[in-house]
Amino acid sequence: MNAGLGDDNKGRTFVMSAITHLTQYARRRLLPPIYDEATHWYQGWYFDLRLEEELARGKRYGIAVAVLVVLLPGPFNRQQAKDLNARLPDIAAKALRRSDIPALLEENEYAIALPHTSPQQAETVVRRLVKSFSGFAPIIGVAGFPDDSDDSAQLLLIAEHRAMSAALAAGTPADAIRRRGKTHRD
């Protein structure tokens, strides 16, 4: 009788394992990935969630949060884009902390949330990013909580506006930085 009970437990274990595996597979297929496989930077939708979390923490505990928008004047040919994507994990490792949140918003546009960082402190990160993105002429705008806004969408818009203003002031052609299509929030 014990032998039969043991076989039955093996059968249940197998069925439960199969159900768990199928559930995990379904979740992976139904939910969009949180990071871009080519760059290992987060997707825009996940960045929005994380930025909201960091702003809530900042409001609760009085902690500064900086947001960077990085624009890369383009367009790039296929090989240049491939080279850039291959460099992004290394850029993040060298220029950012593990607690920072880098994201790919759309082609040639990136955002980085810097928890526990004021806009003034973010200038150190900006210098490291400019050096790391060498060859791609990054244009970086900075905005921060609580100085500029307590709303994540507003912080992104302010940082993007500052990046575009800096690009135009530096003589970058408007069509090289003009945003194409919808934003990652649309």
CATH architecture of 42-177: 2-Layer Sandwich (3.30)
The answer, yes or no, to whether residue 4 has pLDDT greater than 90, is: no
Q: Where are the domains of the chain?
A: 1-31, 42-177
Cα–Cα distance list, 121 to 37, 57, 107, 134, 144 (Å): 30, 18, 27, 21, 10
Provide the residue type at 138 as one letter: P
The answer, yes or no, to whether residue 3 has pLDDT greater than 50, is: no
Closest CA to 69 of 135, 147, 166: 166
SS3 at position 108:
coil
pLDDT score at 30: 65
pTM: predicted TM-score of the whole model, two decimal places: 0.77
pLDDT score at 180: 39
For 97-156, how does the pLDDT look when each residue is reduced to its tens digit (9 = 90+)?
999 999 999 878 899 999 999 999 999 999 999 999 888 888 999 999 999 999 999 999
pLDDT score at 37: 82
For 19-51, how does the pLDDT look when each residue is reduced to its tens digit (9 = 90+)?
777 666 666 666 678 888 888 899 999 999 999
- With pLDDT > 90 as the criterion, what percentage of the chain qualifies? 47
The answer, yes or no, to whether residue 1 has pLDDT greater than 50, is: no
